Structure 1
Amino acid sequence: MHVPDGFINAPVSAVAGVAAAGAVALSLRGARKELGEKAAPLAGLVAAFVFAVQMLNFPVAAGTSGHLLGGALAAILVGPWTGVLCIAVVLLMQGVLFADGGLTALGVNIVVMGVVTVVVAHFLFHGLRTVLPRTRGGVTAAAFVAALVSVPASAAAFTLLYAVGGTTHVPIGKVLTAMLGVHVLIGIGEAAITALTVGAVLAVRPDLVYGARGLTAPLKLRVDGELVDAAPAEDAPATAPGSPRKVWIGGVVTALVLAGVVSFYASQSPDGLEKVAADQGIDAKAEEYEHATADSPLADYELDGIGIKRLSGGLAGVIGVGLTLAVGTGAFWAVRRRRQAADTGAQV
């Protein structure tokens, strides 16, 4: 759903840019509470993984494809504040290096694909957690539903921005109906990818999943007619979770394989927004805008100078994963260091 230049006019794009900058600023402050020693490198991994999976367009209808947005996945794995930052990093890398998503529309994309998906998924996920069983299955089910709903919510947010600042005149009812129709289908794919990924991490390291905190409820005993938490057995072994290094390495390898190899087999059909834009005439003025980084050596996810398409796309994907991982991890470590500095100052 990367919005290119020319879909939304300059004033609304500017307002969306200010809103996106504000959301990122707030997220930088909020993420300090979420980014512990283990979470910082994992947040960079989540950004790289989202980048990789977004290259895997899957067919959803005749002549239409979809791809992961990733807001729900990021919010559940590393927290909502950090989740917004993860998606912002991905969109920045895609816009600047790969000419994917307009630069004047970067604020629109962060709001639509990052903020809206994260907020909707976060609150729906935690609402479902209160009524579903406190088990891995309950967490996975909540992740599925939250991811499913976040995609049409994002489509509705784009439609709202188009209603206010669209550069073409298409009845909003037609745009909304078309956007919701195709993005509900895309949401099913998003939900499946999110649930599978969350379930996989839960199976090996549930302590690393932000949304699974408090997964195991303490044993309850009835004392004098009241339920109280049972004290842990004195001889119970202390099993502190180990380093997340294996999870990190496995995630990086998976992202590299997805971007470098599996992406070659992704659907070549236009994604949901592109299809709706072409069918409804939303993209009538988009051709007037040339992407500012159209001459990038990585534009369109192909490495310039490589004549073999499969190799060119694979290398571009691998480079993208590596750069996103480096930029994301560096940014999240910087946020964590600021938290440590603030804690030290408070103690002094």
Structure 2
Amino acid sequence: MDFKEIKKEFNSYGLLLIVVGIVINWVGAFIAQTLKLPVWLDVIGTMLVAVLSGPWTGAVAGAATNIIKWVTFDPVGGPYFVVNMAVGLLTGYLYKIGRYNKKSGIIDLLGVTVALALISTAISAPITVYIYGGVTGGGVDLLTALFLGTSTTHGLLTAVIGSELLGDIMDKAISVFLVFAIMNLLPDKYFKSETQKKSAVEKKKR
């Protein structure tokens, strides 16, 4: 872990992006919660910060989002801060290794969607079951009830895993493709890694 690189993410640009990311997440989450949608819409800002600034600023934006949600309108949002953090870290990593950027093809985008959905469900399902008893008051609760009513479901945990995985696939697909569209609308100067690459090239030329 390169702490110097992590520190560089938290410059004035990175801090500004964190604020913007939190606002985007909060608005998306509020809409999803109000309409009882089977998605969360609370990681769009996290992912945008992660690709523009880096994984750690993305993680901070994600964690802060859940804490702010918790004290404003979402009484169960707090413990899920680790999910939003994980999304920021993984998104930033996938961007750095070239799996998620402006040039990503449909296969890469689907792969990113699945990866984010899997890690989100793996972290969130135990929280939902063991802290909240399987019910959080969100739109995904309906999916949990449907899974509990099927013969293939064995217990609450498997029902929650099934419902949250389905919800996460939809949620992360929306987020992945929306952030991808935003990336392609923004010039390279807004991407910290691209700016650093250009600076390095210019220094070599000198």
TM (norm. structure 2) is: 0.63
Q: Kindly indicate whether the alpha-carbon contact (under 8 Å) linking 1:34 and 1:82 is maintained by their aligned counterparts in 2.
A: yes
What residue number does 1:109 align with? Answer: 80
2:18 matches 1:43:
yes
- 1:191-202 to 2 correspondence within 5 Å? 191-202=173-184
The alignment's C-alpha RMSD in Å is 4.3
Would the alpha carbon gap of residues 97 and 55 (structure 1) be closer, same or farther in structure 2, given more than 3 Å must change? closer
Would the alpha carbon gap of residues 123 and 42 (structure 1) be closer, same or farther in structure 2, given more than 3 Å must change? closer
- What is the alpha-carbon distance in structure 2 between the residues aligned to residue 93 and residue 34 of structure 1? 22
The alignment-based identity, stated in percent, is 13
Shift of 1:181: 4.2
Matched letter for residue 91 of structure 2: A
2:60 matches 1:78:
no
What residue number does 2:145 align with? Answer: none
Which one scores higher on RCO, CA 8 angstroms, separation ≥ 6?
1
- What is the alpha-carbon distance in structure 2 between the residues aligned to residue 186 and residue 85 of structure 1? 20
Q: Kindly indicate whether the alpha-carbon contact (under 8 Å) linking 2:14 and 2:57 is maintained by their aligned counterparts in 1.
A: no
- What is the alpha-carbon distance in structure 2 between the residues aligned to residue 194 and residue 211 of structure 1? 19
**Paired residue for 2:188, among 206, 218, 241?**
206
Greater C-alpha Rg: 1
As a proportion of its length, which structure holds more helix?
2
As a proportion of its length, which structure holds more strand?
1
TM (norm. structure 1) is: 0.41
Matched letter for residue 115 of structure 2: V
- What is the alpha-carbon distance in structure 2 between the residues aligned to residue 139 and residue 33 of structure 1? 30
2:131 matches 1:137:
no
Q: Kindly indicate whether the alpha-carbon contact (under 8 Å) linking 2:50 and 2:91 is maintained by their aligned counterparts in 1.
A: yes
| Displaced runs of 4 or more, over 6 A | 169-172, 213-216
Deviations 1:144-203 (A, max 9, x none): 64344323322221233467x457599986423543444334423433333323432443
Deviations 1:74-106 (A, max 9, x none): 3223311111211222222221232x134xx72
Deviations 1:199-249 (A, max 9, x none): 324433223234666788x99xxxxxxxxxxx86x9xxxxxxxxxxxxxxx
Shift of 1:126: 3.9
What residue number does 1:159 align with? Answer: 125
* Count of residues paired in the alignment: 181
Would the alpha carbon gap of residues 88 and 199 (structure 1) be closer, same or farther in structure 2, given more than 3 Å must change? same
What residue number does 2:42 align with? Answer: 69
- What is the alpha-carbon distance in structure 2 between the residues aligned to residue 44 and residue 160 of structure 1? 29
